[in-house]
Structure 1
Amino acid sequence: MADHATLVKPPPIDPSKSSIENVLELTELSAIAPDLYTNTRPLWHPPGARGIYGGAVIAQCLSAAQRTVPSNFTIHSMHCYFVLAGDAEIPVMYYVEHVREGKSFATRTVQARQRGKCIFTTTMSFVREKSGGKKTINHAVPLPEGLDKPSAPNGEEEGDSPFISHRIEMLNKDSKNPHEKRTRQWIKARGRISEAGGHQAHLSALAYISDSYFIGTVSRIHDLWRFGAPSSNKTEGKESTLKDDMAQREAYVKKLKESEGYGHDLNNEAGRPEIGMMVSLDHTIYFHEPRAFRADEWMFTEMFSPWSGDGRGVVTQHMFAADGTLVATCFQEGVVRLKEERAPKASKL
């Protein structure tokens, strides 16, 4: 199975489905065991990252679990832990466990496993539609004022990412207090999600998108240098050469120049504190209006960090539909360690 990114050969891309639906497609393995699934297509390993993109595993776990609940039950919360870095070169196996079947709520756990080890685990709760009663209490954080929905992605339609992002200037960027700063972006799935995908496809897409730039918020509000040395990671099954890796970094820095004003400081000439390690530990999503949005239409996300310390940071994210509906609230904690300068070796007497 080594050096094979999927258990079976991927089928041709389905043109009737959006890019993100094809990316997140699952293969059911009922002949092996009930409620067992695997990724149909290779998963993305971001350049320089320790493993596969976490949003893909989050979304595929949700997609697998959604197949095991009645159609009138909808996800309202999922609590995830990243255990080990995923390997893009071998398949991921998703094991769904039925924890509880209730009249109003159902609970599932899903483990993503590679080489017999758990790389990711999540517990999800589903609620029966319209089970909250005829009278309900209601309130929600409002969409921030003064926002203009993108009329065009300004060239970000290009590329093969399954979603499009349009980042805007950080709110309170000049504040001396990192917790007052807000990173913001407009984001949506590329193309049009198929009617056959139902609301489940939009929820899986939102889960995929929710991991975009999440724990990185801590590095941005502290103005940390986050471009390490070029790596030899594999990208899409091919060894990255030093030239390719540098080109990817330069393209990323150019994008940052437009959105954050960092410029082409590839060697950190400004002397900013440098990230030594940054990885996600856990990820939580509360779905507030799971059937009241489309993930292929512009959504607005705002992220802020209430705390960082002891080599970790916590980030909160609000996700809105363009009409102002608060769609989801997300939380993520991750390792955020600074690169420490090596002490000079003591001279021998």
Structure 2
Amino acid sequence: MSDPAQELIALLDLEYLDVDLFRGAHPESTRQRVYGGQVAAQALVAGARSVPDDFSVHSLHSYFLLPGDYGVPVIYEVERIRDGRSFATRRVMARQHGRPIYYQTLSFQRAEEGFDHQDVMPDVPGPEDGMDLVELMRGGGNEDADALGKEWAALDVRWLGNSRHGLEPDPAHPSQARMWIRVRGEMGDNPLDHLAAFTYASDVSLLGASLAAHPANPASVQMASLDHAVWFHRPFRVDEWWLYDQTSPSASGARGFSIGRVFTQDGTLVASAAQEGLIRPKTR
């Protein structure tokens, strides 16, 4: 029997080509463009392989430039921007067919102690009360639901609701969505595997929060990530449940902007993410 967690780790691993040059593979897929979370996670792995072992990534910022092609591998080239005593900075370019398709800038830090505070986790039902996200997409007529269900087989996503269905109205935050996520199976104890797997999962639903305030079926909307940022606050295991608490402060000009807070089940705020993307009604 296959192990989804180990298959995800293998997918996000990279083939070494030369110093700071790597090649990433794809899963089998019938979709037209490569899942953005995969490219972001593989780029993170490429950047992490260029820093000393006592440095850990604390943030990444990125832009999606062109759709990825499943027909050819992605080449990742790392640029060493800065190496300091406490922080290191890397830029990673992902390219296909000789053209950049994605850029990512990462900041790494040596562990140190400091001030500590965090937001309180919202009061929400547990994962057992959520609904399978892919089943919801399938029921909503999303043409990619079957392909995404196969591609995201390593992810267990339990949807709790959004501003139009399941969540209490909040006038201060009119467009919200919440769900529990974990990787199926055991991820092992390599911290980089957990960081990369989280980056992979962080792109699953974030842009969709920008539609939660509108009577629009996501299946009828052209959606594409334009940029993506992640901040890692505290260590956590991605193969244990974490709450993705998503809010969209704004949508305008055919773009939606969403922010996600990530809490473990004990209420610890472990990461934050932000994304802007295209949200345009399909014309066909």
Query: Where on the TM-score scale, by shorter chain, does this alignment land: which range?
Result: 0.7 to 0.9
Rg larger for: 1
Instruction: Name the structure 2 match of 1:322.
Output: 265
Instruction: Name the structure 2 match of 1:111.
Output: 93
Which whole-Å CA distance do the structure 2 matches of 1:212 and 1:187 have between them?
10
Q: Indicate whether 1:187 and 2:197 are aligned.
A: no
Give the 3-state SS of the residue equivalent to 2:22 in structure 1: strand
Which whole-Å CA distance do the structure 1 matches of 2:266 and 2:30 have between them?
32
Structure 2: gaps spanning 5 or more residues? 135-148
Q: Indicate whether 1:42 and 2:26 are aligned.
A: yes
- Using the TM superposition, give the Cα deviation of residue 316 of structure 1 relative to its aligned residue in structure 2, in angstroms: 0.4
Structure 1: gaps spanning 5 or more residues? 1-12, 228-273, 342-349
Instruction: Name the structure 1 match of 2:17.
Output: 29
CA deviation digits over 1:25-49, x for unaligned, max 9? 211102xxx111111x3246574xx
Trace 1:121-132 onto structure 2 (pairs within 5 A): 121-130=103-112, 132=113
Instruction: Name the structure 1 match of 2:144.
Output: none
Instruction: Name the structure 2 match of 1:222.
Output: 214
Judge conservation of contact 1:82–1:280 (CA < 8 Å) in 2. Answer: yes
Which whole-Å CA distance do the structure 2 matches of 1:176 and 1:140 have between them?
21
- Using the TM superposition, give the Cα deviation of residue 155 of structure 1 relative to its aligned residue in structure 2, in angstroms: 11
Instruction: Name the structure 1 match of 2:139.
Output: none
Trace 1:189-268 onto structure 2 (pairs within 5 A): 189-195=183-189, 198-227=190-219
Judge conservation of contact 1:92–1:113 (CA < 8 Å) in 2. Answer: yes
Give the alignment's TM-score, normalised by structure 1: 0.70
CA RMSD of aligned residues (A): 2.8
Which whole-Å CA distance do the structure 2 matches of 1:51 and 1:162 have between them?
19
Judge conservation of contact 2:258–2:276 (CA < 8 Å) in 1. Answer: yes
Instruction: Name the structure 1 match of 2:141.
Output: none
For 1:138, give the aligned amino acid. D
Instruction: Name the structure 2 match of 1:138.
Output: 116
CA deviation digits over 1:101-154, x for unaligned, max 9? 000000000000001100000100001111x4xxx3222111111432438987
| CA gap 1:155/1:65 in 2 versus in 1, 3 angstroms | closer
Give the 3-state SS of the residue equivalent to 1:18 in structure 2: helix
| CA gap 1:312/1:17 in 2 versus in 1, 3 angstroms | closer
1:65 to 39, 47, 50: 47
CA deviation digits over 1:73-102, x for unaligned, max 9? 111110000000000111100001110000
For 1:150, give the aligned amino acid. E
Q: Larger strand proportion, structure 1 or 2?
A: 2
- Using the TM superposition, give the Cα deviation of residue 162 of structure 1 relative to its aligned residue in structure 2, in angstroms: 1.6
Which whole-Å CA distance do the structure 1 matches of 2:123 and 2:81 have between them?
42
CA deviation digits over 1:251-297, x for unaligned, max 9? xxxxxxxxxxxxxxxxxxxxxxx52x3211100101111xx210011
Instruction: Name the structure 1 match of 2:145.
Output: none
- Using the TM superposition, give the Cα deviation of residue 163 of structure 1 relative to its aligned residue in structure 2, in angstroms: 1.2
Aligned pairs, how many?
A: 268
User: What percent of counterpart residues are identical?
Assistant: 34
1:285 to 230, 235, 242: 230
1:83 to 25, 41, 65: 65
| CA gap 1:223/1:14 in 2 versus in 1, 3 angstroms | same
Judge conservation of contact 1:45–1:88 (CA < 8 Å) in 2. Answer: yes
CA deviation digits over 1:157-184, x for unaligned, max 9? x956121111112257474959423211
- Using the TM superposition, give the Cα deviation of residue 309 of structure 1 relative to its aligned residue in structure 2, in angstroms: 0.7
Judge conservation of contact 2:5–2:154 (CA < 8 Å) in 1. Answer: no
Which whole-Å CA distance do the structure 1 matches of 2:260 and 2:30 have between them?
22
Which whole-Å CA distance do the structure 1 matches of 2:150 and 2:29 have between them?
15
Which whole-Å CA distance do the structure 1 matches of 2:177 and 2:133 have between them?
21
Which whole-Å CA distance do the structure 1 matches of 2:170 and 2:239 have between them?
36
- Using the TM superposition, give the Cα deviation of residue 23 of structure 1 relative to its aligned residue in structure 2, in angstroms: 1.9
| CA gap 1:330/1:37 in 2 versus in 1, 3 angstroms | same
Which whole-Å CA distance do the structure 2 matches of 1:16 and 1:171 have between them?
32
Give the 3-state SS of the residue equivalent to 1:200 in structure 2: helix
- Using the TM superposition, give the Cα deviation of residue 52 of structure 1 relative to its aligned residue in structure 2, in angstroms: 0.6
Q: Indicate whether 1:98 and 2:41 are aligned.
A: no
For 1:188, give the aligned amino acid. R
| CA gap 1:116/1:300 in 2 versus in 1, 3 angstroms | same
